[in-house]
Homo-oligomer: A and B are copies of this chain.
Amino acid sequence: MSRTEISTLGEFGLIRHLTDKITFQQPSTRKGVGDDAAVMAYGQKRTLVTTDLLLEGIHFNLEYVPLKHLGYKAVAVNLSDIYAMNGTPTQITVSLGISARFSVEDMEELYAGMRLACEKYKVDMVGGDTSASMTGLTISITCLGIANDKDIVYRSGAKVNDLICVTGNLGTAYMGLQLLERERLAIRGTTDSPTHRLTDSPTTGDSIPAFEGREYLLERQLKPEPRRDIIDKLREVGIRPTAMMDISDGLSSELKHICQQSNVGCCIYEDKIPIDFTAAEVAEEMNLNILTCALNGGEDYELLFTCNLKDYEKLIALGDIYLVGHITKPEYGTMLVGRNGEEIALQAQGWQAFKENV
């Protein structure tokens, strides 16, 4: 049998390749693979379902992620997918694979974080599966949610001339990760403990000052919040985005998904992309280009959405929503206009772990 490396397709290519032959047999199935969540019709309302698998060493590093934060984040990223459909998350199930390295107290910490997120967002933990693992910690969370059919926002609804909006700021979670990674390497050089946790109990006098004034960046990385507040505000003022998704893999990658599925192009402006001041400062310190981080950093879990032009005034008044560009005809492509006015095609670096993992 021939052998094709998975890295030649990448994550999205692999999913497309494996799922393109799927046909549906159930009348309740309304939308399958390809959006933030699948959509089912069991009753009057629609049921949404999304799932995420988090693997130690790939998605998180326990040297600097406290288990309680990890639990919170694991739930938060799933809720974010349901909000990105303009739905309300209602239940989660949690499956864990746990190696003998972990104690009951460790799992209590992890669950405490998950419970905290569930309480804050009024989501019930209704089931799961717990098993031994030979290789570290595995977390698989599935989130269910509900929405009225007419309220659901897909990635495929963007129209030419629609406004492109993002919430919060971008690249900040990535800069938080860089800070944590830098400290981890610095501490590795000064201690022998490979399991020392940076954020738990730093033992060197150097590690805390390195984060001073930069706690926000760490928080963005370690404890992201899904933007329920934005979804609520949009609903209150009667704005229904035409297309929406959450920004988990970076703005470039997500914009390309929306453009591809909506069969449109886009034009965004470098100077409109919301950047946090401290993130920019740290990027400069580390010789990183903050624009690249904002476009491709990922894990911000902000919302990217498109809206009809008529909603412009109402949108801006809501706060923490930034207009970054507009939707174009498909033949225009997916373009970024630089500060100098030059247009360049957006590159979706997105998720490259299959290549790194060879």
Q: Interface of A with B (CB < 8 Å)? A: 1-9, 11, 14-15, 17-19, 21-22, 24-26, 28-29, 31-33, 37-38, 40, 42-45, 47, 49-53, 55, 57-59, 90-91, 93, 95-100, 102-105, 107-108, 111, 115, 119, 122-136, 138, 140, 142, 144, 146, 353-354, 356-358
Contact = CB atoms under 8 A, between A and B. Distances in A.
B124 A25 contact: yes
A98 B357 CA distance: 10
A6 B43 contact: no
Nearest to A133: B55
B136 A52 contact: no
> Which 8 pairs across A and B sit closest by C-beta, in order of nearness?
A43-B43, A140-B140, A38-B126, A135-B135, A53-B95, A4-B104, A132-B353, A38-B127
Contact of A32 (B6, B58, B97, B125): B125
Number of copies of this kind of chain in the complex: 2
5 contacts: A28-B90, A37-B127, A49-B127, A58-B132, A100-B358
Nearest to A102: B6
A76 to B, nearest CB: 15
B22 A115 contact: yes
B357 A127 contact: no
A309 to B, nearest CB: 32
A29 to B, nearest CB: 4
Nearest to A54: B131
Given A44-B43, A51-B142, A123-B26, A130 B58 contact: no
Contact of A3 (B28, B99, B105, B142): B105
Contacts of A104: 4-6, 8-9, 14, 17
Contacts of A31: 126
Contacts of A125: 19, 22, 32-33
Contact of A130 (B14, B99, B119): B14
Contact of A97 (B55, B100, B128): B55
**Looking at A45, A52, A55, which has the most chain B CB atoms within 10 Å of its CB?**
A55
A43 B44 CA distance: 6
A356 B44 CA distance: 48
A13 to B, nearest CB: 9
Contacts of A59: 131
B55 A134 contact: yes
